[in-house]
Structure 1
Amino acid sequence: MLFKDILGLAHIKKHLSMSADAGRIPHAQLFVGPEGCGLLPMALAYAQYIICNNTDGENNSGNSVCNLKFSSFSHPDMHFAFPVANSDKVKSHAVSDHYIHEWRQFAQEQPYGNLFDWYQLIEIEKKQGQIGVDEAQEIVKKLSLKSYEGGYKVMMIWMAERMNNAAANKLLKLIEEPPEKTIFLLLCQDEEQIIQTIKSRCQILHFPPLAEDTIAKALINNGASHEEAMQIAHEANGNFNKALDLLNQDSEDLIFEKWFVQWVRSAFKAKGNKAVIHELILWSEELAKTGRETQKKFLNFCMAVMRQALLLNYGVDELAYMKIHAEGFQLKKFAPFIHENNILTITEELENAIYHIERNGNAKIIFTDLSIKLTRLLHKKATEIT
């Protein structure tokens, strides 16, 4: 992965290359940024820059053989850890090395992909992957060995917030005092889920969402017209992965939109109509059949829609980027029902549902309970100003 191939983020590229050139490379770094901003490609390019002794901000100016190995993500001094789970392929004690071939494919084809894309590739989308203590033991074992080429070795932990406490505690000492010329790169979207003892041992670098112009140019290079690229770039809200999905009409958000519209329409009709409660129960049963990662992603989508509706209700249209494609549904008409008197409670209920799903609660009960609460909250009146 080359710095020049990464979208935008010129200031971060410059910071990383200049600090490496000056020999100021922190032994543990935490890259934090939203989905689709380029955490993974930037970390890959940075690791290649360090290991291959590249200079002057160029990835291909150093050892050509080393750079060639990186092009297939098979350099022996580059190690990876990422969330996994047992599957038909791996029956027990799954670790990253069991899925390394799929990981190389993912890094080459979907470097801006999200956790759900990864789970789909390795066919564990109905499970909740994690970085567990078995993985931590593998990391300790790998980093106890000397560098293959005598230089730096890098351990990249993608989606580090999926590391459980047992794994994090096992790695604490190693992250604090790694072997000579060993670098940890931890990548995460939610900094709050990283335990404090890990964060305190890392230098943190925050990534912003990508600029609309940057995404639009990339979409045009992928075959979109200028008008289409600008519209998708605005709707993607700095997320290049979502922009590509929208361009290819392959976004899971399109399915989530149908579920959301069906949900709120039934919730509106349910007031004073007991028969419609049966529709909400059937809807809950359908959602319960999907995987937990899908359920959590849908609930996060619902929170995003509610926030967008609130912005439209308050007349801040320029900040509203979302567009619902479901036929007959207009976010602007839905917006008046989301206001200061119910937005906090709705958000709290959605967050509680995510919490219980993560802890393997009964999905049918969780969604049925949430649906009944939504029928009350959507009919709650806004505060009248006198």
Structure 2
Amino acid sequence: MLFREIIGQESIKRKLIKVVNGGRIPHAQMFVGPEGCGNFAMALAFFQYLSCAHRTETDSCGTCPSCRKHKHVQFADMHFSFPIFSKKQGGSICLEFLEEWRRAVQNSPYLDAAAWRGYMSSDNKQLNIPVKEAADISHKLSLTSYEGGYKMLIMWLPEYMRPVTANKLLKLIEEPPDNTLIIMVANSTENMLSTILSRVQKIKFSRLTDDEVRNGLVTHAGVASPSKVESITRLANGNYWKALQMIQADAGEHFHAFVGLMRMAYKFDMTGLVNWANERNDQGRETAKQFLEYALHMVRQCILGNYTAGQLARLSEDEKGFADNFSSFINDRNVVEITTALEEAYYDISRNINGKLVMFDLSIQMARAIHR
């Protein structure tokens, strides 16, 4: 990963480059930021820059043997730890999922936990970083460097660590072996042990701006349609992974599906709601999840419209026209019920519960809620 391939976060890029060139690299860091902000991509770029044989003052060369190995996630002294599920009795370690991990990272370093779950085909099993992984990390980092430089560990989503796992890693984080660097890449520190947080140097990443997402879609993702860029940017809300997921989606189709749901729910059109649920299910789980995210966005904008006299900032003209007319039916009496129903439907779809049942149940809840 090259620094120039990362969307936004320019001040952090400059800071990390300065750290490497100054030779004063913290042995344990934590890159904390919301989903889709690029903190994992930054960790990859940082370690590639550190390993590059011909780095410049601004980036890795991208062509030396070390850079080529990093590009294919095959640099011998780069180790990864990430949430997994147990494949067998007695537990598993991340090494057992290394091929899936390489495919996921090469596809996009902006991925989230839900996308990673899809690579593992873990069904409904709970993801975590197990205690057995702590022993494997300690073993790998105790070995001599294969490439002759730093040994590096990226722990992705350390908030998935079990407390017993975290406790077993405390000494390693505080006093790692010589020439060993650790970066934890987290979306949240809320559920992490304070003893872990006190042993790392934290760098906070901000949510991407609309301009940064827009530039990423045009320059890096190759989206040519200005209207599509604008539509995706509005819905992504600073999450570049979400933006990448929506490139293949049709925001106009989500809009018409949302309008159809609300109109049939208002009329209590049961036949129409059954057909609507079947159509949503037939489009597949990922499209259904994207629709539910879109619906949550529209509900929020309708509520915003109730308090800002219709001055909605993140809607197209068609969306604004509908929201102006329909926002009175989404109000303080039912907004919690509506958003809860949408969030629960998203959770159920993510857990592989029957899509037809989930969507039909959602439509019934919408019909009840908008008549509050």
| TM-score bracket for this pair, using the shorter chain length | 0.7 to 0.9
| TM-score, normalised with respect to structure 1 | 0.74
Aligned CA distance change for structure 1 residues 266 and 139 (closer, same or farther; 3 Å): farther
Letter in 1 for 2:304: L
Give the match for residue 49 of structure 2: 49
1:18 matched to 2:18? The reply is: yes
Instruction: Give CA-to-partner distance per residue, 1:208-264, whole Å, 9 cap, x none.
Output: 22233333333334141334323322332222222222222289xx99889977876
Give the match for residue 329 of structure 2: 337
Aligned CA distance change for structure 1 residues 349 and 218 (closer, same or farther; 3 Å): closer
Pick aligned residue for 1:194 from 180, 192, 195: 192
In 2, distance between residues paired with 1:206 and 1:256? Answer: 34
In 1, distance between residues paired with 2:174 and 2:274? Answer: 50
Aligned CA distance change for structure 1 residues 206 and 337 (closer, same or farther; 3 Å): farther
| TM-score, normalised with respect to structure 2 | 0.76
Residue 40 of structure 1 and its aligned partner are, at CA, apart by: 1.8
Give the match for residue 110 of structure 1: 108
Q: Contact 1:30–1:185 (CA<8 Å) still a contact in 2?
A: yes
116-125 or 336-345: bigger deviation: 336-345
Q: Contact 2:273–2:363 (CA<8 Å) still a contact in 1?
A: yes
Instruction: Give CA-to-partner distance per residue, 1:269-310, whole Å, 9 cap, x none.
Output: 67xxxxx9999999999999xxx9999998777654443332
Give the match for residue 246 of structure 2: 246
Q: Percent identity?
A: 38
Give the match for residue 124 of structure 1: 122
Give the match for residue 315 of structure 1: 308
Aligned CA distance change for structure 1 residues 375 and 235 (closer, same or farther; 3 Å): closer
Give the match for residue 159 of structure 1: 157
Matching of residues 23-172 of structure 1 within 5 Å? 23-52=23-52, 56-60=56-60, 64-86=64-86, 93-172=91-170
What is the DSSP-based 3-state SS (H/G/I as helix, E as strand, rest coil) of the residue aligned with 1:112? Answer: coil
Q: Give aligned pairs, total.
A: 369
Q: What do you get for the CA RMSD once the two structures are aligned? A: 4.5
Give the match for residue 383 of structure 1: none
Aligned CA distance change for structure 1 residues 324 and 136 (closer, same or farther; 3 Å): farther
Tell me, which stretches of 5 or more residues in structure 1 are unaligned? 271-275, 381-386
Residue 44 of structure 1 and its aligned partner are, at CA, apart by: 0.1
Q: Contact 2:40–2:185 (CA<8 Å) still a contact in 1?
A: yes
Aligned CA distance change for structure 1 residues 367 and 48 (closer, same or farther; 3 Å): same
Tell me, which stretches of 5 or more residues in structure 2 are unaligned? none
Q: Contact 2:150–2:180 (CA<8 Å) still a contact in 1?
A: yes
Q: Contact 2:231–2:316 (CA<8 Å) still a contact in 1?
A: no
50-59 or 172-181: bigger deviation: 50-59
What is the DSSP-based 3-state SS (H/G/I as helix, E as strand, rest coil) of the residue aligned with 1:191? Answer: coil
Residue 5 of structure 1 and its aligned partner are, at CA, apart by: 1.6
Q: Contact 1:147–1:153 (CA<8 Å) still a contact in 2?
A: yes
In 2, distance between residues paired with 1:66 and 1:35? Answer: 28
Q: Contact 1:217–1:229 (CA<8 Å) still a contact in 2?
A: no
Q: Contact 1:126–1:294 (CA<8 Å) still a contact in 2?
A: no
Letter in 2 for 1:27: H
